[in-house]
Amino acid sequence: MQLILVMMLMIGSSIWPFGAQVLPGDPIIIVNKQTNELAWINHGKIMMTTKVATGKTNDLTPEGLFTIKVKAKNPYYRKKDILGGDPRNPLGSRWIGFDAKGTDGRIYGLHGTNEPSTIGKYISQGCIRLPKTTLEQLYNKVTNGSKIFITHSSKSFEQLSKEIGAHE
């Protein structure tokens, strides 16, 4: 039995693409692009859910398991040189960046919006937009190094959590 477990651990990443990156009970954010919803799961329990906005096309918001790399309050919007805190800033009050497509957490992220009516829609250039209050609550709970799993699925958050190994 031990030999089988060792072999599974050694080749785990080829059987399941996420390997041992998420352990039972680890906090994780799951984003389901099919429903444009996000769940924050901690100790195998759904602690928060919210509607989100994702990419205009399915390929704009990357899918997979990523790591939170950058957190910022009142983020600066480089593209149009808009300071954090400015009501014209489309990033809102918080930025939670992750390392999709080999980036460093400054390209793809969870953020607020200065257009709350876009929540629930397919409208972004790849980032995930959240309502202001929910984003600020989530920002206070997640840490750099936390995982985010983005998918397009008909499965429930409970099913997805079990599949990626975060369920206790």
Give the H or E element holding residue 114. none
Integer Cα distance of 17 and 72 in angstroms: 30
- 68 in Cβ contact with 143 (< 8 Å): yes
Three-state secondary structure call for residue 91? coil
DSSP state of 101: G
Nearest one of 119, 108, 112 to 50, comparing CA atoms = 119
* 158 burial type by CB count under 10 A (0-12 exposed, 13-18 middle, 19+ buried): middle
Known active-site residue 43: no
Known active-site residue 111: yes
Q: State the greatest distance between any 2 C-alpha atoms of the chain, in Å, as a whole number.
A: 60
Q: Which of 43, 111, 152, 167 is catalytic?
A: 111
Active site positions, annotated: 111, 127
